[in-house]
Structure 1
Amino acid sequence: MRLRNYLMIAVLAFAGFGTTLSAQKIASIDMERILSSITEYQEAQEQLDQLAATWQQEISQEQDAIKGMYNKHQAEQVLMSDDQRLASEQAIIDRETKMREMQKERFGPDGALFQRRNELVKPIQDAIYEAVEAYANQNNYDFIFDRAGSAGIIFSTDAYDKTDEILRSLKN
């Protein structure tokens, strides 16, 4: 009698669990393709690339100047007094510190480039995510994965790719 009750409970539990899982709808999109089709995103990316290149060039020039200071120090240190040698070494250290601070201020995790990227790109990404969310809600999708990202999808059938539909909804 007890075995029969356990079997009945197990059958009911599996039946109930199976019906909730089978109703999920999934789709995939290609976020890179969506972003590359948006002119504002391309322009923002170009601006960021130019800004980064300009700042990197300034940092490279500063590194070259520091290297020149170091070479001059190496060549002249035998002629310097201890105080002059220490002052020269400290000047090099101070300039290197200043250059590293400049790198951090511009390229660090909370640097100017990151902030500028948030100003230019985040509104575009937010609009895309809102379009994806609206599409998912309208079409009763439970999951939409990014095929282009590193989300861990190994295989995705093209039948689930809804990139074109998201692009159309963004143009409306």
Structure 2
Amino acid sequence: MVTTTPLEAELLALAGSVPDPELPVLTLRELGVVRAVRLHGAEAVEVELTPTYTGCPAIEAMSADIERVLHEHGVPDVTVRTVLAPAWSTDDITDEGRRKLREFGIAPPRAVRESGPVALALGPTRSVDPDPVRCPNCGSADTELLSRFSSTACKALRRCLACREPFDHFKEL
């Protein structure tokens, strides 16, 4: 087990306070992508950052924003290292992050019922599983899939059949 110093915890909170560039309603802490902060000597800090998926185009913006925030707080030497293992999962999104997604009009990812890969089933576009994607606007479970990809690759475009509003759904990983 790695122990964290009070200064590392403070720097982790600063790095985690950076807004996500694609979903600015969430911080990187709420998204669950900032993994650790380690001090190297008196003036150097290394931040471990896990992208939501390999090849995520926002990783460069996240890294630059973390470096900027830590520089602004007096850290002269900041290195942001991309860490792919353990892989990020939608289970890493905090409860606060899920609440913010819902309030922003994006259906948060459903809780994964068991560990391991998410089962993929091809079939009708309407929600028919026991844990349907609920509309973030009216709460109805009567929704349909319009497109497997939306404004970003990690979201799908859905429509509520009750209130007729389209909405993004943050896909489970």
Task: Please tell me the TM-score bracket, short chain as reference.
Answer: under 0.3
TM-score by length of 1: 0.22
TM-score by length of 2: 0.22
Q: Larger relative contact order (C-alpha < 8 A, sep ≥ 6)?
A: 1
Structure in which a larger fraction of residues adopt strand: 2
